[in-house]
Amino acid sequence: MIPDLSVVSIIALVLILSVLLDHLLLRPLTHVMREREGAIRSARELAESSRAKAQAAIDEFDARTRAARADVYRQMEEKRRAALERRADLVATTRREIERTMNDATERLLRQTEAARQQIGRDADALAATIVERVLGRKAS
């Protein structure tokens, strides 16, 4: 069976139309879609690398902040320790001065007490001699 000429012409037109659609519409459309996919892929890769760089910068900042904070705490601890040592030195120095002053005062008080006892003894002897003279009317020997 031989197809008639109209069937052959329709088949030829469909083939020509499919070739034209392929060259004029489908190939440019697939080309644009591939370019878009490539652009999207490169944008995603760029975004991912930017995110990784930002995360690295954040991690570095956090590490530096922790190191600086630790350094500040260490310096504060050293200053606190130095202040405590100065305080202990001042307390010890003050305690030694107080002990020395107390010892000096105790010595002076003992000397003054001894001098007062001796003076009282002399005064008692003189007073006794005066009383004996007045009672006896003469000096006691």
Q: Is residue 23 part of a domain?
A: yes
**Residue 128, pLDDT score:** 84
Q: Is residue 109 part of a domain?
A: yes
User: How much is the pTM?
Assistant: 0.48
Calculate the CA dihedral of residues 43, 45, 51, 54 and round it to 10 degrees.
Answer: -100
139 or 119, which is more confident? 119
pLDDT class for 4, splitting at 50, 70, 90? confident
**Residue 102, pLDDT score:** 96
Q: Is residue 35 part of a domain?
A: yes
Q: Is residue 9 part of a domain?
A: no
Domain residue limits at 49? 19-141
Number of structural domains found in the chain = 1
Q: Is residue 14 part of a domain?
A: no
What value does the mean pLDDT take over residues 100-120? 95
Q: Is residue 91 part of a domain?
A: yes
